[in-house]
Chain A
Amino acid sequence: MNMIDHLPALQVIVPLISAPFCILMRNHMLAWAVAVVASGAAFSLAILSMGFVSDGATLTYAMGGWEAPYGIALEIDAFSALLTVIISGASLLALLAGAASARQQLVDEKQPLFFSAWLLALAGLLGITITADAFNIFVFMEISSLASYVIIAAGPHRKALGAVFKYLVMGTIGATFYLIGVGLIYMMTGTLNLEDIALRLNDVSDQRPIFVAAGFITIGLALKAAVFPLHVWMPNAYNYAPHIVSAFIAACATKVSLYVMMRFDFMVFQPNLVGHEFQFSYFFMPLALIAILSGAVVAALSRDLKRLLAWSSVSQIGYIVLGASLTTEAGLTSAIAHMFNHALAKGGGFLIAMGAALYYTTTRFSNLAGLGKEHPWIAAAFVVIGCSLIGVPGTAGFISKWLLVSAALEQGALGVLIISVVVLSSLLAVVYVWKVVELFYFAPRPEGGSSDVMQVRKPEMLLYMLVLGLVAGANIWFGIMPGEPLALAGQAAQALLGGSL
């Protein structure tokens, strides 16, 4: 069989295998190069597979030649293809842009370990996305979680340690909950393959264990996805992580958990459990609404760029969950599209923070004042990305807002409430984004503001600027012609509601 058939396997294997090579590199630049090459390969593979599934097809792969349910099956459909593109893209761009930042924040001899952990996190996330086996999801979830603890803990500030410990405890609880849920399902069905579970669930005599399993799995994944009110670990973790890590993790990590959650709930539970879709939406809609507002409020109050972005993530995740909780095709489409658009915007935001920190060491507002005069391009990029966060027409953020609102319109009276919340939070977004814009352009530079603390190498800076421009451009490009991601999102939504994997 030719290599194309191996696509799903390679998608995971390539970064996985290159991780051990990373630690054997003695020179930190070499390790970085390995990481870049691996992510680049993963990204191109993702693009390739996206091409295959864009017409609604599904790529399947039987690991070890054992057909499911006896072996572990891999599967790439529209949804997972979109996710793989997001993940590998985020990793590649963050690595390219972050060369300088990594040198600034990490000790040289630790970098091989760091980048190897990075690759493991990447491989783990990809593995979760691609596999079609309930337990295999757990294994790769653990790879990605452990690896992300490691790379977050590499943050220079000692608060990073506390944040990571909290993340570790809550993450492990979440994973164990998931494991309990899978165990209960396995107890009642005797299989682990998602399709097979979906098939066998409806002739399970007693549904109560399944309900409980649904509960455990949903809560566990919600914990990992930082769905309000289980988000307490996230802001600090994103805030104190190394900037390069924040740019990567914030763009994709939580979305993967959301992906698993939606996939499990819509493909396994809702077709088989009576009235489960109502439980799902009534459980999540209020949480999402609160999350959207509270996250935006805290973001508007915060005095630190990364902190602001982290809290805005809380509210943006709220949008995704809200879209999903409508349990309609339009709603799901908006949710999935927002996964992509938010990845663009938030990844870009943390890139800005990275660049700012390169020059002013920290991302506190007091340090960043007047950035626009010294580094006009970074400031300009922030304006674009900020607009995308707000959802100004012509940017990617607007597309998903539009979809969400038009999806809410179908809901009638409830829709009005939803729309008003969305509108309100957009106004809050205006507040917190514009706070930063004014800070960049109109506030005076603080005297002796620690400017140019590290000598920045030209090529690194050039690379950073290129990536930043690329991301900002993408935010506009996908705001004007969102064709491909939107098409994928639509197909994914249909597949989810079609109830077939």
Chain B
Amino acid sequence: MEPWIPFQYIPLIPLVGVVAILLGARVNDNVREAATLITALMTALAVWGFAPAVMEGQRFSVTLLDEVLPGIPLALQLEPLGAMFAILAGSLWVVNSVYSIGYMRGNKEKNQTRFYVFFAVSIAAALGIAFAGNAFTLFLFYECLTLSTYPLVSHKGDEKTIKSARIYLGVLISTSICLFLPAVIWVHSVSDGAFAAGGILSGVLSGPEVGLLLGLFVFGIGKAAVMPVHRWLPAAMVAPTPVSALLHAVAVVKAGVFSITKVVIYLFGVDFLFAQSTVGWMLYIAAFTIIVSSLVAIQQTNLKRMLAYSTIGQLSYVVLAVSVLTPLAEVGATLHMVAHAFGKITLFFAAGAIYVAAKKTELYQLAGIGRRMPWTAAAFTIGAISMIGVPPTGGFVSKWYILAGAFQSDNFVAIATLIVSTGLTATYFLPVVYSMWFGKEIEGPVANHGEAPMAMVIALTTTAALTLLFFFLHGPVKVMEQQVLLGAL
């Protein structure tokens, strides 16, 4: 595929889509949803268009406004990490919008136009994050993403929803203003803050400063849901399932871990951090988050809440991998970002499908549902084993790389954490899967229901398939990834 549009215009595609959606909504729903799908496809194609070029090691960068603030431009650049995140978001958006059409119709939700519009806007913001060329730009789009997802989370608009949405916004905004913003300003005050291979802060900062700045970033980027700033994620469970999918797989939390990775690799520089003594705590925080969140997940009785806590844990895999600070681990981090995206979106699609078809949300209700909804259950199973990290799924690949990286530096904390958490993950996923297939069915709100609407089934089977495929063809991702590190190390 060839680039057919300059990359800095890609974030504009969804915004154009917004106009199309609004106009379409005036005609009728089909036109509107057609507009959504087309926009999503265009975006996906546009980002895929850059994959080959980037794989050959090309970099693109452009400055939109050369002086937003004195000496601080609004700059975009396209480098492998970002390209990968963009591709992830863009392509999952397609699947997700197919799914959400089914979900929204199946559930007869209100304000569907608003939903599609803000969905497109948040995708645009996510792309902005992916292409951000310096810390300031990153922060700008980060906040845009937060704000544009608020209407999605508070979609239902009833008392409970608004409360949870308040938590969502409160945590994200306050962390970003209190920690992320000072960190960004700090970076810009000591350097030009532009992302560059190998990092720019080596030699500028030293000793405890580095640890402090890193801390500001890790906790300031609340979207990465590192404990204790994870509260917003379970709260956001009130949102409709496509939104949860967006949050967990497509854009939001991915944006969080992506930003952290980007900051570590392009601002600090891996080897610089590796040399520092004051950054080890990051590893322990990640490990702690993984273990605790898995333990919490075990106690959950609500499907989506369980998934939410599992996400928290899985994200911390990425942070853990990043903080292992070895090339292989970095590769693993990125692979895990993708693998988890596929797996988790499948799981959420399945959950949503079950809700739409059977109106079931609690774990015990799922017993024996596999006989009524075989496709969904199958997809769920695949997603689950990918979470646990069993071949032949994507989860295995990424965990493998992370472990390898950990061994590279004999980082036994990381290794132990991985092994233990794998066990825990199995403990909370396998029983569900088991009861789905072999459990004795119990009466739910909807008597003798069948599969979910076609659109949803298509979507979730696709993602499940992707999860499997990723085990075999993770090559491209790895290629891109490695040259990032060649650049970086």
Contacts and interface: CB of A to CB of B under 8 A. Distances in A.
Instruction: Assess A/B contact in the complex (Cβ within 8 A).
Output: yes
Interface of A: 387, 391-394, 399, 402-403, 405-406, 409, 419, 423, 426-427, 430, 434, 438, 441-442, 480-483, 486, 490
11 contacts: A392-B147, A393-B144, A405-B181, A409-B186, A427-B174, A430-B173, A430-B174, A434-B169, A441-B157, A442-B154, A480-B65
B204 to A, nearest CB: 15
A387 B174 CA distance: 14
B359 interface: no
Contacts of B186: 409
Main secondary structure on A side of the interface with B: helix
A91 B379 CA distance: 63
**Most central of A392, A426, A480, A482 by chain B CB within 10 Å:** A392
**Most central of A387, A393, A434 by chain B CB within 10 Å:** A393
B275 interface: no
**Nearest 10 CB-CB pairings of A with B:** A393-B140, A393-B143, A423-B178, A442-B157, A426-B177, A406-B185, A405-B185, A427-B174, A442-B162, A430-B173
A427 B65 CA distance: 29
A385 to B, nearest CB: 14
Nearest to A424: B178
Interface string B354-365: 000000000000
B2 interface: no
A403 B69 contact: yes
Given A426-B177, A480-B68, A402 B185 contact: yes
B166 interface: yes
Contacts of B147: 387, 392
Nearest to A490: B70
Given A392-B143, A392-B147, A442-B162, A427 B178 contact: yes
Contacts of B174: 427, 430
Interface in B57-83: 65, 67-70, 74
B140 A394 contact: yes
A294 B81 CA distance: 45
A402 B170 CA distance: 20
Interface in B163-204: 166, 169-170, 173-174, 177-178, 181-182, 185-186, 188-189
A399 B69 CA distance: 7
A13 B181 CA distance: 46
B470 interface: no
B139 interface: yes
A490 B67 CA distance: 14
B65 A481 contact: yes
Main secondary structure on B side of the interface with A: helix
A363 to B, nearest CB: 22
Contact of B144 (A394, A426, A441): A394
Nearest to B161: A442
Contacts of A387: 147
B182 A393 contact: no
Nearest to B173: A430
Nearest to B146: A392
Contacts of A409: 185-186, 189
Nearest to B74: A480
Nearest to B137: A393
A95 to B, nearest CB: 32
Contacts of A419: 182
Contacts of B178: 423, 427
Contacts of B69: 399, 402-403, 482, 486
Given A392-B143, A442-B157, A482 B68 contact: yes
Given A405-B181, A405-B185, A480-B74, 16 more contacts: A387-B147, A392-B143, A393-B139, A393-B144, A394-B140, A399-B68, A402-B69, A405-B182, A409-B189, A423-B181, A427-B178, A430-B177, A434-B166, A481-B65, A483-B67, A486-B69
B122 to A, nearest CB: 15
Nearest to A419: B182
B255 to A, nearest CB: 15
Interface string B297-311: 000000000000000
Given A394-B144, A481-B65, A423 B177 contact: yes
**Most central of B68, B140, B169 by chain A CB within 10 Å:** B68
Contacts of B74: 480
A40 to B, nearest CB: 30
Contacts of A393: 139-140, 143-144
A438 B162 contact: yes
Interface in B38-55: none
B222 to A, nearest CB: 13
B64 to A, nearest CB: 9
**Most central of B140, B173, B177, B182 by chain A CB within 10 Å:** B177
A99 B182 CA distance: 44
Contacts of A434: 166, 169
Contact of A486 (B70, B144, B169): B70
Contacts of A403: 69
Contacts of B182: 405, 419, 423
Contacts of B169: 430, 434
A483 B166 CA distance: 35
A480 B67 CA distance: 9
A224 B296 CA distance: 58
Contacts of B173: 427, 430
A482 B166 CA distance: 31
A423 B182 CA distance: 9
A367 B18 CA distance: 32
B170 A430 contact: yes
Nearest to B64: A480
Interface in B417-434: none
Interface string B319-337: 0000000000000000000
A409 B143 CA distance: 22
A227 to B, nearest CB: 25
Contacts of B166: 434, 438
A430 B96 CA distance: 31
Contacts of A441: 157
Nearest to B179: A423
A482 B74 CA distance: 12
B193 to A, nearest CB: 12
A406 B177 contact: no
A447 B404 CA distance: 65
Contacts of B143: 392-394
A375 to B, nearest CB: 16
Contacts of B154: 442
Contacts of B189: 406, 409
A405 B136 CA distance: 14
A429 to B, nearest CB: 10
Nearest to A479: B68
Contacts of B70: 486, 490
Nearest to B69: A402
A491 to B, nearest CB: 13
Contacts of A486: 69-70
Contacts of B157: 441-442
Nearest to B169: A434
A483 B65 CA distance: 10
Contacts of B170: 430
Contacts of B67: 483
